[in-house]
Amino acid sequence: FIRGQIPKDEKGEPPLPPIDEYVACAEQRRKSLPDRTRPAASRSGPPLKLA
């Protein structure tokens, strides 16, 4: 959040998304990232070549 650029609620606090929506978005981001827990040798496909 950038201070002063989002509307505040009655208490003067910035509105936050519902926790369920936040968790769902976080799970979606996590699933879309490459799996860094597997060793590089077990990843499918040929190794990438650097330019």
Q: What is the pLDDT of residue 42?
A: 53
What does the block give as tokens for 10? 């009655």
pLDDT tens for each residue of 2-14 = 666 777 777 777 7
**How many angstroms separate the Cα of 48 from the Cα of each of 12, 19, 34?**
50, 38, 14
Q: What is the pLDDT of residue 27?
A: 93
pLDDT tens for each residue of 13-48 = 777 778 888 899 999 998 888 776 655 555 566 677
Residue 7 to residue 4: CA distance in whole angstroms: 8
